[in-house]
Amino acid sequence: MSYQKVQNFKCRCPLIRINVFGIHESHQIPNIPCDRSSNDVFLNQHLQWYHNFDSGSARKLVRAIFNNTSPHQNLFSINDPIVKRNIAVEGYKCKCPLTHDGAFGLSDEHDITNVPCGRADKEVLCFQHLQYHHNLSSRAAKKIVLAILSYTPTVTQLFHNDDFVTQSKCAVRKLKAKCPLIATHMYGKFIDLLIVNVKIPFMVFLTQNLTKQNYFLSQMYFLIKNR
Ligand SMILES: [Zn+2]
Ligand SMILES: [Zn+2]
């Protein structure tokens, strides 16, 4: 079967369940059972793009289907690596997994946006979509894409309620890390301006309660109060 024939070969995706052609769960192939098996696809491309096959394994399966090989035949052994290694998370396309509250442990507590996702019927560049449509941080988005790639079900709790997963919270957290009361060498003048107008009991309150959560609120309060 020539390269061109492999490229142009169309049929329905055979990956309607696990354990066909020797494909086992431990191969960690995403999107099985395939939800695109109702129409013919360019199988070679589909296997690489949707099921993350490496090119050699995709060709092997295309040839087997072309030759009417039985799905009971073990084309791949359990130790064969089938999926692509070093996948670029940024380039991975799939349908958005955030179709319901609680997917991967994401809840109301996390302040993510647009869940359930209104665009989940089409494939998207998942890493980017999770950030721009659902306000997830790049770190959280990457964690989800890697989970999808490794065939992790959405009921798996990747995140806990007190995890920071959104862009805004992460940005604020970065900002908090630069608290001027710690880094006085950086913000010396700013601190002087603030402290000049602070009442002593309020300073005591502040220093005793200077947690990540209330620091910025406190700062806003006395900036406005002493305007
Ligand atoms: Zn498929
Ligand atoms: Zn979405």
pLDDT at res. 79 = 85
Q: How many angstroms does the Cα of residue 141 sit away from the middle of ligand 2?
A: 11
pLDDT tens by residue, the chain, 227 residues: 888 899 899 999 999 999 999 999 889 898 899 988 889 999 998 998 889 898 899 999 999 999 999 999 999 998 888 988 766 788 888 999 999 999 999 998 898 999 999 999 999 999 999 999 999 999 999 999 988 877 778 898 999 988 999 986 445 454 444 444 444 444 444 444 444 444 444 444 444 444 444 445 555 544 545 54
Q: Are 36 and 15 contacting, i.e. CB atoms less than 8 angstroms apart? A: no
Write out the two tokens for 115. Answer: 């869940």
CA distance 30 to 15: 10
Ligand nearest to the CA of 37: 1
The pair of structure tokens assigned to 114 is 């647009």
Residues in the chain: 227
Q: Terminus-to-terminus CA distance in the chain, angstroms?
A: 79
61 neighbors 14 (Cβ within 8 angstroms): yes
Q: Which residues contact 214 (CB under 8 A, 6 or more apart)?
A: none
Q: What is the pLDDT of residue 117?
A: 96
> Which pLDDT does position 86 carry in this prediction?
67
Per-residue pLDDT at 34: 92
| Beta-bridge mates of residue 10 | 42
Nearest partner of 31 among 123, 103, 136, judged by Cα: 123
21: CA distance to ligand 1 center in Å?
14
Which secondary-structure segment (H or E) carries 124? strand 123-125
**Number of the ligand closest to the Cα of 48:** 1
pTM of structure: 0.45
Spatial contact of 78 and 26, defined as CB atoms under 8 Å apart: yes
The token pair that represents 206 in the structure block: 């502040």
State residue 106's pLDDT score: 95
Task: Give 131 Cα–ligand 2 centroid separation in angstroms.
Answer: 9
Residues 33 and 13: their CA atoms lie apart, in Å, by 10
Centre of ligand 1 from the C-alpha of residue 48, in Å: 10
Q: How far apart are CA 106 and CA 108, in angstroms?
A: 7
